Structures are given as C-alpha cells and as structure tokens.
C-alpha cells in the first residue's frame, strides 16, 4: 500500500469498521456505503475496512462514525451498531470466548482486557461488579479528543453482553460523559438474574451454535487458503492475516525458520521493525516475551517451524481462551508449510533431474576436455544448488591443478580462479585427496594458508571439493561453493551425493573427450613423426589462405629427401623410420615460430609459412631448411649423409587454392632435384580456378 494508507496508525480494529459498514449496507445498500466513504474521505475501500486484520486510526474511526450517522439520518446510529456487535459483528472466536466466561458478571470483569482487542486509544476500568449489576469507567488516552458517537457505540455494545447468555439486554445508565467535561465516562448496568430452574430457553445456545458453525467455516477456509498457496512468503502473509481475523490484536509477529536454510523468515503487522526484529529473535529462541504477548508454536508432527504471536500494548493482554484458538491457526499454518516444503522438494527434485538429463545430453555433445569442463561447471549450480562452481584439471607433469572452467556471479572471482595454479607441494588438502581420493569440506578458518587466502579472496565460506576419477586415475576436482549464510546446513548428505554423481559423469566425459582427441590426432597426424599429415596440412593451409590480408604473403616449402631409399635398403626400415623422426625434429628446429611442418607421405615433407612480409623472405627459410641437412645423421652407430631437395611457392593476398600452391612448390622441388648449384628459385603457382593469382 502507498500514500496515506501506508502511514495509517493501527488504533482501531477492523472488527469495528466492518461492523459499521455492514450496518450501513443493511440500512441503505451499497450506495450508502459508498457515500459514507466519500464523506469520511478515508484512504481505504469498503473491502479493506471490513477485514478484521485491517487496523485504522482513531481519526478514521470517528470520521466514519460521523459520516454514517449523517448518511442514515439517524442520531442513534452508533448505539444501534454497538447493539448489533455481539450478534452480527464480532468474530466467532470472540463470541465463543465471551460465552466460555460463564456469566455476564465475569464478562464485565474482563471487559478492560477485551477493549484492547478493538482499540488502543481508550481504557476501561471495572468500578463495581455484582451478580446483576456493574459500574464501568471508560476514557480516552491522552492526546485524543472524545467523541459522543464513540461513547454511544460503547454503550450499545456493553449493554448487549447478557444476550450472549440468553438474557435480555442490560439496562444502562450513563451519568457522566467526557463530552460533557467529565474526566471519564461512567456506565451503570443492571441485568436479570440467570434462571436456575427450568433450564435455558431453546434459543439460549443460538449465539454459541452460530459462532461455532462460523468458526468451523473460517478454519476450513483458512486451511484451504493456506494449502492453495504456492510460495513461502504468501503462506506466511496469509497465516498472519487469517490469525488476525480469529484473534483481534493490534500487532502480530510470525517468525519461522527458512526451509532453504537461510536467515529466519519474519512477517509482522502493526509493529515497528526494531520491535519486530527483537521479538522475532526472542520467539525463535524460546525466550520470555512478556504478558502482553500471546504466542504459540507453529508446529506439525514433522517439525517445529517457528512461532506465531499476537502483541498487545504493555499492560494489555489476550483473553484466557485465545491461545487455543491461536494454536488452531498455527496448526493449519504448520500443515501448509509442511505441504509447501514437500512440494518445493518435489519441484527441486524434478528440476535437478531435468538438469541432470540436460547435463548428460550436453556432455554427449562435448568434443574436447575444455567443453566437458565448461558444461559441468555450468550444470553444478542447477543440480547442487550452489552459488559458484569450478572444474580443475590435474597436470601430472606440473603436479598442479589448473582451472578449466568456473561459474561465479562475480567476474573478479572468475579471473582469480583462472589465474590460480594449485601445486600439490603447497596445498596439503590436495596431497590428501591425491592419496585417499576422498572429498574435502573446505572453510577459510580450517584450511591451509594458501587455500585459506584463496577462499577469503573469493569471499567463500563453504566449499565441497570432490575428486574426478577414472578408476583410480586422478583427472581433477569439481567444486561447489557458497558465500556466508548461503550454504545448506548439512553438506555431507545430499549435496555431496549430487556432486559426486556429477563428478562421475565428468570423468566419463573427460575420458571420452580424450579418446576422441586421440582418434582425431591419429586421423590428422603422422603416427611416426607426430607431424600433421597431408589432410591436416592442406586444411591449415586453406584456413591461412582464406584469412590472408591483401598485403600479406603465404609460402609453402615442399621437401623431398635424397638417398632415403638407399638408407632403407642398406640399413632396414627401422633405420629409415628413425631417419624420418630425426628429419622431422631438424625441420621443427629450422622453421620460425608460427610456421608449420607436415609429413605428406613417405620421405616428403612440407612447411607452411603463414606470415611473410615479402615473398623473398621464403628464401631465408629455405636456406635454414637446407642447412639442417649439412650434418650427417646418426643411424645404428653410422654417420649417414642425407640430402634434401626443396621447392618453394608463395601466394600473395586473400583467397587461393591450397592444392594449387602445394603443387607449385612440388614442381619447384623437382627442378631443384636436378642438382643445380644455385638455391631453388621461387615458383609462381598457377592461377587458381576462381581467378586469384599466386606468385
């Protein structure tokens, strides 16, 4: 609510304003109600003012009383409204409480406490109470101006108390009124003695029976309403609203434990936030809350969710039997919360099952280790319920874990994770995991120094880390993490189980990805030398040609060994294979960074020169390639001199055909084989089919 209604003081119960509007509606219809609201100028609808849980200010109450009297044209309007209260206007729970007191005398003795359920601006005292008579005083608190209409409403209400017990209304004598300058209003009441013989009249129990039926209806409605709620906040708000309809009180606090494990959930009405926070803490701690607070457990057979409290002004309090009624609503509230938690658990299970199926589908499409790690890291928050997650891969050569993928709402944290290398000799927790292959629960205060510093830098207070294992082979670690106050109460149960399940899927996917990488490598690389084969070499050459800028040049060298057949024939194929491996190593050493050596077939090699400033620069690489054959090769204890014929071709600008450029270099290599004493010249590749020119 916004505007004036948001700051309306809680001084008059909705039971009073609702009773007034119901009377106006019966006398003049909805048009009369609308006219009363217009004249009173209040910031509420009729529906809001008829809610017992809606409290308004004393000023609003008096303006409504005045407007109703004017609209109906009856000076006795407010007396009539008060007279109808016990029959039509009070909540069933309050009628039952009044009836349970046993006699008019006991009710009048309790009226000072009952007044607090309707107004916080006035006080009542019992000056005298006998079997058939009572004298009461009624006065406004300091700072409020007395209204004769308010006094007439009170007279009508208190005079009808005997009717609850099947007796005629009390006779009331009003001798002193604050409106006439007296310090207090004085009411003298007398009523008939209750008959001891002959039993009650047949209709004596009518108010009680009607109240019981209405109370049952309200309880059933409350149960259905709460069960129909779909989220915790809505349930808690409705608990407060429904309880306030049953037990009239100026203030309410409901404090329950968060089903998700976070801070307590608190809903309130009519109280300042500072008081709400303190009272909620006391309620959840089971501390004493004072005589002006009536509280009950919100508990089911399964668990205690929290506490519900009706709060009165200091010195006031609830009536004796209200705790039982409040407990009934708290019981329905607990059942609703149980159901909601069960539904939420089912939704979470369905969501996580869907997330696991999605994970399995995405892992099936992951083609390398980086893809696998990214998919797993993205799935961890959905499946485990963590705030951040990471997958780290083990590098056995370095003896360290390195982050392959991470998910974190903070970009700085992601940068920190990817920049961090965790070496086994520096982190005892990693050594322990390498030894026993068991999960670790990590917190800054109990971790080793370097790990503690990392967790503090990431602002994480709880981390679960599980090893990613292929059999007993340690592949890496998957982590689920939470900042302060966000972690579930127990990490060793469901959270760990889910994380381990994802770790197992990750291990299988990583093994498959590495197998695929091996197969792809074997399909595109020479098994003997490890160099790219013809297929991969041409593919890379095509990519380079397609991305070459107009001012750039791409070169290809075609190399063919001299006397290779003689080595095979004289020393055997094993020596020939060793020669090819040594040639591959020398060619790698001779080229520039960024160049690529490939083995095309047999004793034929090629070199890709992707970035030449000038076509002539290819000649320098040719010289280095030829120079690496000046020294003989050591094969089976023998020094073997092997020559090399090299042809070079250069393409300028974008486009061009990889096959055409390689054929041009091959042709130039055959010219070089004629043993010319001069270095091989640069060949111009033929014009490609699309009209580009290679030179």
Instruction: Tell me if 172 sits within 8 A of 158, measured CB to CB.
Output: yes
Residue 98 has a pLDDT of: 61
Q: Does residue 633 sit in helix, strand or coil?
A: strand
Q: What is the pLDDT of residues 27-74, one digit of tens each?
A: 999 999 999 999 999 989 999 898 877 888 999 999 999 999 999 999
Tell me which of 115-124, 409-418, 509-518 is least confident.
509-518
Instruction: Tell me: pLDDT of 123 over 50.
Output: yes
In this prediction, residue 207 carries a pLDDT of 53
Identify which has the larger pLDDT, 385 or 59. 59
Task: Please tell me the predicted confidence (pLDDT) of residue 367.
Answer: 74
Per-residue confidence (pLDDT) for residue 31, from 0 to 100: 95
**Predicted pLDDT at 333:** 73
Higher-pLDDT residue of 387, 211: 387
Global pTM exceeds 0.95: no
- pLDDT category of residue 160 using cuts at 50, 70 and 90: confident
Q: What is the mean pLDDT of residues 553-574?
A: 90
CA angle 266, 268, 274 (to 5 degrees): 80
Instruction: Please provide the CATH number assigned to the domain covering 534-683.
Output: 3.30.70.270
What is the average per-residue pLDDT within 251-279? 79
78-87, 342-351, 450-459, 525-534: which range is least confident on average?
342-351
Q: What is the mean pLDDT of residues 148-165?
A: 89
Specify the CATH superfamily of domain 3-207.
H-NOX domain (3.90.1520.10)
The arithmetic mean of pLDDT across residues 157-176, rounded, is 88
Given a contact cutoff of 8 angstroms between Cβ atoms, the answer to whether 167 and 104 are in contact is: yes
Task: Enter the tokens of residue 240.
Answer: 């407060």
At 91 the pLDDT is 55
Band of pLDDT at residue 689, cut at 50, 70 and 90: very low
What is the average pLDDT across 338-343? 70
Residues in contact with 418: Cβ distance below 8 Å, sequence separation at least 6, in sequence order: 403, 406
Selection from 161-165, 646-650, 673-677 with the highest mean pLDDT: 646-650
Encode pLDDT of 466-502 as tens digits. 999 988 889 999 999 999 888 887 777 778 888 888 8
The DSSP bridge partners found for residue 299 are: 304
The lowest-confidence range among 268-282, 550-564, 600-614 is: 268-282
Query: Quick one: pLDDT at residue 95?
Result: 59
The strand order across the sheet containing 473-482 reads: 421-423, 400-407, 388-395, 473-482, 462-470, 440-442
Most confident of 111-125, 207-221, 413-427: 413-427
Residue 488's pLDDT is: 80
Which pLDDT tens digit goes with each residue over 6-33?
567 888 888 889 889 999 999 999 999 9
> C-alpha angle with apex 13: 245 to 21, nearest 5 degrees?
90
CATH 3.30.450.40 domain range(s) in the chain: 211-342, 366-521
CATH fold, domain 211-342, is Beta-Lactamase (3.30.450)
Q: Which of 30-34, 420-424, 606-610 has the lowest mean pLDDT?
A: 420-424
pLDDT of 688 over the 50 cut: no
The per-residue pLDDT for 496 is 84
CA 543 to chain centroid, in Å, comes to: 45
In the CATH scheme, what is the code of domain 366-521?
Answer: 3.30.450.40
**Percent of all residues in the chain with a pLDDT value above 90, rounded to a whole number:** 38
pLDDT digits (tens, 9 = 90+) for 30-40: 999 999 999 99
User: What residues does CATH 3.90.1520.10 cover in the chain?
Assistant: 3-207
Question: What is the C-alpha to C-alpha distance for residues 56 and 61, in angstroms, rounded to an integer?
Answer: 7
Q: If you average pLDDT over every residue of the chain, what do you get?
A: 82
Closest CA to 36 of 72, 7, 10: 72
- Residue 229 clears pLDDT 80, i.e. is over it: no
Predicted confidence at residue 258, as pLDDT, reads 74
* Range 346-364 average pLDDT: 68
Q: Is the pLDDT of residue 627 over 80?
A: yes
CA dist 566 and 538 (Å) reads 29
| Stronger pLDDT, 294 or 7, i.e. the higher one | 294
What does the alpha-carbon distance between residue 19 and residue 37 come to, in Å, rounded to a whole number?
A: 14
The end-to-end CA distance of the chain, in Å, is 80
Residue 310, classed as helix, strand or coil, is strand
- 579 vs 259, which has greater pLDDT? 579
Q: Taking 90 as the threshold, does the pLDDT of residue 249 lie above it? A: no
């Amino acid at each position: 609510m916004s505007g004036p209604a948001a700051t309306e003081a809680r001084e008059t119960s909705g039971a009073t304003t609702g009773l007034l509007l119901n009377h106006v509606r019966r006398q003049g219809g909805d048009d009369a109600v609308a006219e009363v609201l217009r004249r009173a100028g209040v910031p509420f609808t009729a529906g809001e003012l008829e809610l017992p849980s809606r409290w308004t200010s004393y000023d609003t109450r008096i303006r409504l009383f005045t407007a109703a009297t004017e609209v109906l044209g009856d000076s006795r309007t407010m007396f009539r409204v008060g007279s109808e209260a016990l029959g039509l206007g009070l909540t069933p729970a309050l009628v039952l409480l009044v009836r349970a007191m046993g006699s008019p005398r006991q009710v009048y003795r309790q009226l000072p406490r009952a007044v607090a359920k309707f107004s916080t601006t006035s006080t009542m005292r019992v000056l005298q109470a006998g079997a058939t008579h009572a004298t009461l005083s009624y006065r406004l608190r300091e700072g409020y101006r007395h209204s004769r209409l308010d006094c007439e409403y009170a007279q009508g209400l208190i005079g009808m108390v005997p009717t609850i017990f099947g007796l005629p209304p009390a006779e009331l004598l009003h001798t002193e009124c604050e409106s006439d300058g007296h310090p207090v209003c004085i009411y003298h009441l007398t009523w008939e003695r209750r008959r001891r013989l002959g039993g009650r009249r047949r209709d004596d129990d009518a108010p009680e029976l009607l109240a019981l039926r209405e109370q049952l209806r309200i309880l059933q409605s409350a149960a259905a309403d709460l069960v129909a709620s779909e989220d915790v906040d809505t349930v808690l708000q409705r608990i407060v609203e429904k309880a306030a309809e049953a037990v009239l009180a100026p203030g309410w606090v409901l404090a329950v434990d968060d089903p998700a494990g976070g801070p307590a959930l608190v809903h309130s009405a009519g109280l300042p936030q500072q008081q709400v926070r303190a009272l909620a803490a006391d309620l959840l701690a089971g501390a004493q809350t004072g005589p002006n607070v009536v509280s009950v457990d919100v508990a089911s057979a399964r668990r205690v969710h929290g506490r519900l409290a009706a709060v009165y002004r200091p010195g006031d309090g609830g009536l004796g039997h209200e705790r039982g009624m409040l407990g009934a609503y708290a019981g329905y509230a607990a059942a609703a919360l149980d159901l909601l938690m069960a539904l939420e658990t089912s939704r979470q299970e369905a969501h996580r099952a869907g997330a696991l199926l999605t994970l399995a589908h995405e892992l099936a499409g992951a083609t390398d280790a980086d893809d696998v790690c990214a998919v797993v890291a993205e799935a961890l928050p959905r499946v485990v319920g963590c705030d951040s997650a990471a997958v780290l891969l083990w590098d056995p050569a370095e003896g360290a874990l390195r982050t392959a993928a991470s998910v974190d709402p903070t970009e700085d944290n992601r940068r920190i994770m990817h920049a961090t290398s965790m070496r086994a000799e520096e982190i005892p927790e990693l050594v322990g995991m390498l030894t026993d292959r068991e999960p670790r629960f990590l917190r800054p205060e109990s971790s080793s120094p370097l790990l503690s510093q990392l967790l503090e830098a990431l602002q994480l207070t709880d981390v679960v880390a599980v090893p990613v294992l292929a059999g007993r082979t340690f592949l890496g670690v998957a982590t689920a993490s939470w900042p302060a106050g966000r972690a579930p109460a127990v990490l060793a149960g469901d959270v760990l189980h889910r994380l381990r399940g994802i770790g197992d899927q990750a291990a299988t996917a990583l093994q498959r990805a590495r197998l695929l990488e091996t197969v792809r490598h074997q399909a595109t690389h020479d098994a003997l030398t490890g160099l790219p084969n013809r297929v991969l070499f041409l593919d890379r050459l095509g990519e380079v040609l397609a991305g070459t800028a107009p001012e750039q040049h791409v070169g290809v060298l075609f190399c063919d060994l001299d006397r290779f057949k003689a080595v095979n024939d004289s020393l055997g194929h094993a020596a020939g294979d060793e020669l090819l491996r040594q040639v591959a190593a020398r060619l790698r050493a001779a080229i520039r960074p960024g160049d690529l050596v490939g083995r095309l077939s047999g004793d034929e090699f090629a070199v890709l020169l992707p970035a030449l400033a000038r076509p002539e620069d290819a000649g320098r690489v040719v010289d280095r390639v030829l120079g690496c054959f000046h020294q003989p090769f050591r094969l089976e204890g023998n020094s073997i001199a092997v020559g090399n014929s090299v042809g070079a071709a250069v393409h300028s600008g974008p486009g061009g055909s990889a096959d055409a450029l390689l054929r041009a270099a091959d042709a130039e290599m055959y010219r070089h084989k004629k043993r010319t004493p001069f270095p091989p010249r640069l060949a111009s590749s033929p014009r490609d089919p699309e009209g580009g020119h290679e030179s």
